[in-house]
Structures are given as C-alpha cells and as structure tokens.
C-alpha cells in the first residue's frame, strides 16, 4: 500500500491499518504525510521512520509499537492517542498536543518536546528511555511547565 491508497481507504471509512504491508520498500518510510487526517484510526506496529507528520490530526489514533523514530510530529494533534511502546527516538514533537495521550513505555531518546502539551497524559517510562530529550516549556501531565533536558 502506498500513501495515496492509505488516504483513499481512510476516506472510504476504513480505520484499521495495523500491520499494513507496504509494497516495495516501505512507502511510509520518510513519507510526507504533513497535515494528514488519520484520527481515530489504528496504525499499530507499522514502520514510519523519518516520515513527516507535521500538523497531522492523529486524535485518538492507536500508534502502539509503531516506529516513529526521527519523525516530525511538529504541531501534530495526538490528543487521546495511544502510543504505548512506540519508538519516538529523535522525533520532533515541538508544539504537539499530547493531551490525555498514553505514553506508557514509550522510547524517546533525543526527542524534542519543546512547547508540547502533555496535560493529563499517562506517562510511565524509565529515565533511560527519554535520555537526552528536550522538555523546554513543556506542559507536563499535572499542568506544570518543565524547562530542561532529561
């Protein structure tokens, strides 16, 4: 499946894209999906490393065990998204909305969460899993603002 087919199937009402088989050499690898609307869909356990999801609407999306390493999620709306066990190493989450998102056991070493909103997010990770990540003006789950690097 390529990006165009993904969008056509989403427009037709399909929402479960877990384990999708990408023909050839993973067309979602480094794909430009900026501004895409895939809200309330399931994208679990797929490989999207290096993709551009800037400004994407991923509200309520299931992204468990998805590889989002080095992916741009700048300004993406991940409100209520399930990111359990996702790989966000090196991801850019600047200005991302992660309100009420599930971030249990997420790996995000070297991620940028500048101005990200984690209000009400469920976070459970070991410090080693977020090592070298930037939390500059990041709104933490309790509403406090954190400025620093973990």
Structural domain spans, the chain: 1-149
pLDDT digits (tens, 9 = 90+) for 77-133: 999 999 999 999 999 999 999 999 999 999 999 999 999 999 999 988 778 889 999
CATH of region 1-149: 2.160.20.80
CA 69 to chain CA mean position, Å = 9
> Which of 51, 56, 4 is CA-nearest to residue 35?
56
Q: Percent of the chain having pLDDT more than 70?
A: 95
User: pTM for the whole thing?
Assistant: 0.90
Q: How far apart are CA 33 and CA 84, in angstroms?
A: 21
């Amino acid at each position: 499946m390529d990006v165009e087919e993904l969008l056509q199937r989403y427009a037709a009402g399909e929402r479960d894209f877990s384990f999708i088989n990408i023909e050839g050499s993973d067309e979602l690898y480094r794909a430009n999906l900026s501004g895409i609307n895939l809200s309330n869909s399931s994208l679990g356990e797929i490989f999207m490393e290096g993709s551009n999801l800037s400004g994407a609407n991923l509200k309520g999306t299931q992204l468990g065990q998805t590889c989002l390493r080095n992916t741009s999620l700048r300004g993406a709306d991940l409100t209520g998204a399930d990111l359990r066990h996702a790989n966000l190493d090196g991801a850019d989450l600047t200005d991302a909305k992660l309100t009420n998102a599930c971030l249990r056991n997420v790996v995000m070493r070297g991620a940028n969460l500048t101005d990200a909103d984690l209000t009400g997010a469920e976070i459970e990770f070991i410090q080693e899993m977020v090592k070298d990540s930037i939390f500059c003006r990041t709104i933490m789950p309790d509403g406090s603002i954190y400025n620093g690097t973990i």
